[in-house]
């Protein structure tokens, strides 16, 4: 058995809302002679990359945002069956999904739970059928869905981390590796797990970064190319393989699933923020939080945060 742990983030660039990190761990029967494992092929036709051709779409989260009246339809259709199967539960609301993913800090803006059916258009019967299909194909192909996790870091804490680390990139890396430490500490994976991180920017050499994160480990470079940087870490008589890859969410299903978890968490928490403020300013147009529209939104709410006792640093990022 081989364990593949995927890591990704969502919300690196916006002015408003949280920076979210996601992780997914999946183990599978694996023969090295067959080449790199393809979980899409193993779980086909139930799981695929297009919502038009499969029940459970898993791909780069940016490709799954729907332009319909239910913008989270495709993200939830792909993510929720994996989360429910990993935890052996049924999820009925956005808050249940957030907490099942491990997001316990829902931010400073109160909101009532929202039924998932209102977000994805699927009733419990349809959701149960998709979960059953995924369970069956996973059992038939020797795939174990171990966990899907996410974390949300809200502007107040982000601003503190920006000040501490001095830049956004180091903050993002610290949050990704913090989530990885949490996942590895669960000790659910097979020996010598393979970690895959979607490469951010043009950095090609990661050994100094890994040395700062795994002080007790011996780090060996396996490959460093423009497409992939791969390392082997020996620590506590265990081996960890970690690779930083371009377009990792197109090559590795766990990375795509991690991307979807991070993106879904950010979208749900932005929904809470928008709900909180539109209840107080009904004419206020919701925002996704990106810089240009975020500035419009901040201007339109005026001094409302101050009147509500909400410090600017709890709402707006410094970087």
For the chain, percent of residues with pLDDT exceeding 90: 79
pLDDT of residue 189: 66
Q: Write down the mean pLDDT value for the chain.
A: 92
210 lies in some domain: no
pLDDT digits (tens, 9 = 90+) for 146-170: 999 999 999 999 999 999 998 888 9
pLDDT digits (tens, 9 = 90+) for 168-206: 889 999 999 999 999 988 876 667 899 999 886 677 889
219 lies in some domain: no
Quote the domain boundaries for residue 76.
2-199+246-271
**Of 23-27, 234-238, 252-256, which gets the smallest average pLDDT?**
234-238
The answer, yes or no, to whether residue 302 has pLDDT greater than 80, is yes
pLDDT of residue 91: 97
267 lies in some domain: yes
289 lies in some domain: no
Total of domains in the chain: 1
- Whole-model pTM? 0.95
Kindly state the average pLDDT of the residues 71-94. 96
What is the CATH classification number for the domain harbouring 261? 3.30.420
313 lies in some domain: no
pLDDT digits (tens, 9 = 90+) for 120-136: 999 999 999 999 999 99
238 lies in some domain: no
In the block, tokens 């265990």 appear at 238
252 lies in some domain: yes
60 lies in some domain: yes
């Amino acid at each position: 058995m081989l364990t593949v742990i995927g890591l990704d983030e969502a919300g690196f660039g916006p002015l408003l809302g949280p920076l979210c990190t996601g992780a997914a761990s999946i183990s599978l029967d694996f023969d090295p002679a067959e080449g790199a494992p393809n979980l899409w092929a193993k779980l086909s036709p139930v799981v695929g990359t297009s919502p038009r051709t499969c029940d459970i779409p898993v791909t780069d989260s940016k490709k799954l945002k729907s332009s319909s009246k239910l913008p989270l339809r495709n993200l939830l259709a792909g993510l929720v069956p994996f989360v429910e199967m990993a935890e052996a539960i049924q999820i009925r609301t956005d808050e249940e999904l957030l907490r099942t993913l491990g997001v316990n800090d829902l931010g400073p803006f109160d909101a009532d739970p929202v039924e998932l059916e209102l977000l994805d258009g699927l009733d419990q019967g349809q959701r149960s059928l998709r979960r059953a299909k995924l369970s069956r194909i996973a059992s038939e192909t020797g795939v174990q869905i171990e966990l899907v996790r996410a974390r949300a870091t809200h502007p107040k804490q982000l601003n503190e981390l920006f000040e501490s680390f001095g830049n956004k990139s180091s903050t993002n890396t610290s949050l990704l590796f913090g989530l990885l430490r949490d996942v590895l500490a669960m000790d659910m994976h097979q020996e010598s797990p393979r970690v895959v991180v979607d490469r951010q920017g043009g950095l090609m050499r990661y050994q100094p970064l890994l040395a700062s994160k795994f002080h007790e480990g011996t780090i060996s470079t396996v490959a460093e190319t423009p497409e992939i940087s791969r390392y082997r870490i020996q620590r506590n008589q265990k081996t960890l393989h970690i690779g930083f890859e371009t377009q990792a969410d197109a090559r590795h299903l766990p990375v795509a699933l991690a991307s979807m978890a991070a993106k879904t968490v950010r979208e749900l928490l932005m929904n809470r923020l928008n709900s909180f403020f539109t209840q107080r300013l009904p004419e206020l147009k919701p925002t996704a939080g990106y810089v240009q529209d975020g500035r419009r939104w901040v201007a339109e709410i005026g001094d409302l945060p101050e009147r509500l006792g909400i410090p600017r640093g709890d709402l707006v990022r410094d970087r």
